Amino acid sequence: MSGNHSAATVKERAELALNDEFLRKAVRFTTERLRNGKKNASEEHGNWDEWRERGRQIRLHTIAHLDYYLNLFADNARANGAYVHFADTAAEAVQISLAIAARKQAKTVVKSKSMVTEELHLNHHLGTIGVEAIETDLGEYIIQLAGETPSHIIIPAIHKNRYQIADLLSAEAGERLEPDTSVLAGFVRKKLREKFLEADIGMTGCNFAIAESGSIVLFENEGNARMVSTVPKTQITLMGMERIIPSFTDLEVMATLLPRSATGQKLTVYMSAISGPRRIEDADGPDEMHIIIIDNGRSLQLGDPEFQELLNCIRCGACLNACPVYRHIGGHAYGGTYSGPIGAVLTPALKQNVAEWDDIANASSLCGACYEACPVKIPLHDMLVYLRRRKVESGHGNKWEGAGMKGFGGVMGSSRLMRGVLAIGRLGQGLVARDGEIRLSIGPLKEWSRYRVTPVLAKESFRQRWGTIERELREGLSELDPAMKKRMEAMKNARAGEGGHGHG
Amino acid sequence: MADQTAQTHEQWLEEMDRKAREKQQSFIANIAGRLGRETAKPPAGHPYKGAPSFWQGFEWPMEERIERFSANFRSAGGHVVRVPDLAAASAFIAEKAKEMSAHYIVRQQEDALEALGLEEALPGCDVSVWNDDPGKPWKALAAQADFGVVLADHAAAYTGSLAVLSDKDKGRSVSLLPTVLMALLPVDRLVTRLGEILMPLDADGREKLPAGVHFISGPSRSADIENDLTIGVHGPGVVYVIVIG
Ligand code: SF4
B21-74 tens-digit pLDDT: 999 999 999 999 999 999 999 999 898 999 999 999 899 999 999 999 999 999
Least Cα distance to B58 among B203, B192, B199, B154 occurs for B192
Structural contact between residues A296 and A89, judged by C-beta atoms closer than 8 angstroms = yes
- The pLDDT assigned to A30 comes to 60
Kindly give the distance from the C-alpha atom of residue A316 to the centroid of ligand 1, in angstroms, as a whole number. Answer: 5
Give the three-state DSSP class for A10. helix
Residues B238, B73: Cα–Cα separation, whole Å: 12
User: Looking at the DSSP assignment, which residues form a beta bridge with residue B240?
Assistant: B79, B182
Residues A376, A378: Cα–Cα separation, whole Å: 6
Residues A74, B128: Cα–Cα separation, whole Å: 38
Across B86-179, where does the E strand assignment appear? 104-107, 126-129, 147-151, 154-156, 161-165
A–B CB contacts, 8 A cutoff, strictly below: 302
Residues A93, A85: Cα–Cα separation, whole Å: 9
Q: Does any ligand 1 atom lie closer than 6 A to the CB of residue A314?
A: yes
Q: Examine the predicted complex and report whether its ipTM is higher than 0.90.
A: yes
What kind of fold does domain B60-244 have according to CATH? Rossmann fold (3.40.50)
**Chain B residue closest in CA terms to A29:** B227
Q: Which of A39, A153, A261 to mutate to test the pocket of ligand 1 (most atoms within 8 A of CB)?
A: A261
CA distances from A318 to A29, A89, A257, A339, A471 (A): 14, 28, 11, 11, 26
Least Cα distance to B95 among B75, B125, B73 occurs for B125
- The pLDDT assigned to A479 comes to 35
- The pLDDT assigned to A28 comes to 63
Selecting from 3.30.750.200, 3.40.50.10420, 3.40.50.1860, 3.40.50.300, what CATH number does the domain A10-301 have?
Answer: 3.40.50.10420
Residue B152 confidence class, pLDDT cut points 50, 70, 90: very high
B window 100-129, beta carbon within 8 A of A: none
DSSP classification of residue B80: E
- The pLDDT assigned to A240 comes to 96
Least Cα distance to A241 among B212, B27, B46 occurs for B27
A window 201-260, beta carbon within 8 A of B: 212-215, 221-224, 226-227, 229-231, 241, 246-253, 255-256
A422-456 tens-digit pLDDT: 322 222 222 222 222 222 222 222 222 222 222 22
CA distances from A177 to A128, A166, A185, B244 (A): 32, 6, 11, 43
Least Cα distance to B228 among A496, A164, A182, A320 occurs for A182
Structural contact between residues A50 and A249, judged by C-beta atoms closer than 8 angstroms = no
> Residue B39: how many CB atoms within 10 A of its CB?
11
Residue B111 has pLDDT above 50, yes or no: yes
Burial of B207 (0-12, 13-18, 19+ CB in 10 A): exposed
Residues A49, B227: Cα–Cα separation, whole Å: 29
Least Cα distance to B156 among A428, A271, A16 occurs for A271
Residue A418 confidence class, pLDDT cut points 50, 70, 90: very low
Residues B218, B181: Cα–Cα separation, whole Å: 10
List the domain boundaries for chain A: 10-301, 399-455, 462-496
Structural contact between residues B94 and B122, judged by C-beta atoms closer than 8 angstroms = yes
Sequence-distant (6+) residues with CB within 8 A of A121 are: A90, A94, A446, A447
A365-402 tens-digit pLDDT: 667 888 999 999 999 888 888 877 777 776 655 433 33
From chain B, pick out residues whose CB is under 8 angstroms from the CB of A248. 198-199, 201-202
Residues A101, A110: Cα–Cα separation, whole Å: 12
- The pLDDT assigned to A491 comes to 40
Q: Over chain A, what is the mean pLDDT?
A: 73
Most confident of A201-215, A301-315, B215-229: A201-215
Residues B131, B117: Cα–Cα separation, whole Å: 18
- The pLDDT assigned to A504 comes to 26
Structural contact between residues A362 and A10, judged by C-beta atoms closer than 8 angstroms = yes
Residues A22, A336: Cα–Cα separation, whole Å: 21
Least Cα distance to A411 among A361, A368, A351 occurs for A368
List the domain boundaries for chain B: 1-53, 60-244
